[in-house]
Structure 1
């Protein structure tokens, strides 16, 4: 990798003393670009290999493998007066929570900012750097071993240029957002990212990632919830990927048929004999406990996929939102996501007559925030026109 890619100095930080001194200085910063490199292929939790910081003047590569106490950096992340710039931050949040037991506040996610500036939705970092800074980033170290020591010169360059460019991206995107008075849109979006991340840590909601869970009735869904929570806890306890404990389709099959004897587990694909010996009795116990729950306490069944008729509503609303997004020069997905269209459709498709105040109230709770002022009126018009045609 060419040295010319980095225009600022690179500092390797591998002692607690040097990290503490830097963090004390950075506490007076307004903005820091932050990135992480980690390994995760065989574990449930990400293993931090490197933390990169750019303060606008230099690149700092912090070695969490060598530094036992990174609490000074944790304090930095939760300082609400410092903007932390990251790109597509969800995995970084996991790294920080695992390593430091905190998640950063006052985020500036450049992927979200890009969507609000018309660069597309979920744009990759390399593509964004190319679009804004007109630079081609190398991809040679994307899948390298970040736990090895020493890191190669190529790895060090790769890690440093990431945050050097990230800082520059943020400066440009901030100006673009200010020019169109959308900086507060980004603030709301990043706060929502943090809120969603924290909500997703609830083990009792881990069943929602099962794609076919909507096929289960409330009683059988209760079985799946117990099994999914058990798998999540096993994965954490053993620090292995969820599917290494047991695959999703196996738990769905068990929930669907609700076996009442350990020997019946042998019928299910993906349930090994060893697992039956070690966990079979407990799995059957979980199934029986869920099946014995009072019907009044069953979980609510999950929403089924929309019908063809219902999807006509989605298509009509999406067409209006896409047109609106083009007018605003933003990615349409930043205005409304698939789940938003579906929630609105389910709320109104079977209601007659439509009440304008009810539409407004529902849209405010479904969409909310800065979006409401932009999409509420167009959506209400579409909803009214669709139902008129249906009638």
Structure 2
């Protein structure tokens, strides 16, 4: 596999010179390590423009003191399963590329499933079975081996052929613009920062708690997320989720009672005093400041019937458009729609920012005439 290693200021200048030329479409990928950190650590950035493949070493190149990141945004981007890649890149660029295309999304529109892996994509489009043996190696260790570099280069060079094969079919079926729009929507979601005040909603079984207990959980979950970000460590390495829930439920007021929540010894030793203080503060909150009780959609009387009606409508649209139902309206987006109808106030529904995905963009242009009336 032909590639150029970028490890010196002179080599980086040469890449920047290429990026200053007319806008083009770049195949991008990242290799990273995230085991004991909140943020992924970038180990390698791969770029292929259809002619040249650059493997940019961020550990040896000072990318932040050059025009590299800014120049990268002057081009169109193609990635495969871009979620984690964009989480890394958003810390370095002010915006993503002129457009962004996720080949996993493109493959999903063509009926290959919503999570087609890169190896399967290349085998389908190029007839080549790639060796993925280096995917779990330490990309922060130096020097990188020839096998690692060859693996990294293939992640963007074969992507070029896959991309063009996909877009030819998508354009024939008049689906290309939909894939671009969906890629842009999901990329925008990746730009959103975690809100500590809503972190409690992600705790398993939070719906079982009373409003007062949720007030405790909200304060604890916000503290846990802020601590994880500040210390750059996984949230469960701060305090495990199950212990956090039990703290909200039992609301310990002394250390022996706190231990009964199953908190790990190290977390107890480091954070025990702070956790008891947070619980005490939350218990003192006025009821007007408690979060609303979490209502599960499954508990609404017409949930199953309405869900079935929507799925029947989506199946009809799938037949007419060839867009798979799990792309048109996955269960998550159906729930978003039902939440909008059943759990938001009239004032909240009037806010365009709260409009559900199924009632906006390319999906609404297709589904408007088919979605049932939701009471």
Structure 2: gaps spanning 5 or more residues: 344-348
Report the CA distance between 1:253 and its aligned residue.
0.8
* Structure 1 range deviating more: 244-253 or 171-180: 171-180
Report the CA distance between 1:162 and its aligned residue.
0.8
Alignment of structure 1 residues 78-93 onto 2, 5 Å: 78-79=73-74, 82-93=75-86
Whether 1:254 and 2:220 are equivalent positions in the alignment is no
Structure 1: gaps spanning 5 or more residues: 1-5, 351-357
Q: Distance in 2 between matches of 1:18 and 1:311?
A: 60
Q: Residue 291 of structure 1 corresponds to which residue in structure 2?
A: 283
Asked if 2 retains the 8 angstrom alpha-carbon contact of 1:51 and 1:63, the reply is: yes
Cα distance change on mapping 1:213 and 1:364 into 2, 3 Å: closer
Report the CA distance between 1:149 and its aligned residue.
2.0
Query: Which of 17, 33, 36 lines up with 1:39 in the alignment?
Result: 33
Cα distance change on mapping 1:326 and 1:131 into 2, 3 Å: farther
Asked if 1 retains the 8 angstrom alpha-carbon contact of 2:340 and 2:356, the reply is: no
Q: Distance in 2 between matches of 1:340 and 1:64?
A: 37
Report the CA distance between 1:204 and its aligned residue.
2.7
Q: Residue 354 of structure 1 corresponds to which residue in structure 2?
A: none
Q: Residue 355 of structure 1 corresponds to which residue in structure 2?
A: none
Whether 1:73 and 2:73 are equivalent positions in the alignment is no
Query: Which of 140, 159, 164 lines up with 1:147 in the alignment?
Result: 140
Q: Distance in 1 between matches of 2:139 and 2:162?
A: 25
* Structure 1 range deviating more: 288-297 or 242-251: 288-297
Q: Secondary structure at the match of 2:159?
A: helix
* Structure 1 range deviating more: 162-171 or 301-310: 301-310
Question: TM-score scaled to structure 2, two decimals?
Answer: 0.87
Cα distance change on mapping 1:363 and 1:66 into 2, 3 Å: closer
Q: Residue 211 of structure 1 corresponds to which residue in structure 2?
A: 204
What does the per-residue CA deviation read over 1:141-163, in whole Å, with 9 as the maximum and x for residues that have no partner?
A: 12112122222221111111110
Tell me the number of residue pairs that the alignment of Structure 1 and Structure 2 aligns: 363
Whether 1:56 and 2:50 are equivalent positions in the alignment is yes
Q: Residue 185 of structure 1 corresponds to which residue in structure 2?
A: 178
Whether 1:29 and 2:23 are equivalent positions in the alignment is yes
Q: Residue 3 of structure 1 corresponds to which residue in structure 2?
A: none
Q: Residue 353 of structure 1 corresponds to which residue in structure 2?
A: none
Cα distance change on mapping 1:188 and 1:299 into 2, 3 Å: farther
Q: Distance in 2 between matches of 1:84 and 1:21?
A: 20
Asked if 1 retains the 8 angstrom alpha-carbon contact of 2:107 and 2:166, the reply is: yes
Q: Secondary structure at the match of 1:319?
A: helix
Q: Distance in 1 between matches of 2:132 and 2:149?
A: 13
Asked if 1 retains the 8 angstrom alpha-carbon contact of 2:87 and 2:191, the reply is: no
Asked if 1 retains the 8 angstrom alpha-carbon contact of 2:336 and 2:356, the reply is: no
Q: Secondary structure at the match of 2:369?
A: helix
Question: TM-score scaled to structure 1, two decimals?
Answer: 0.84
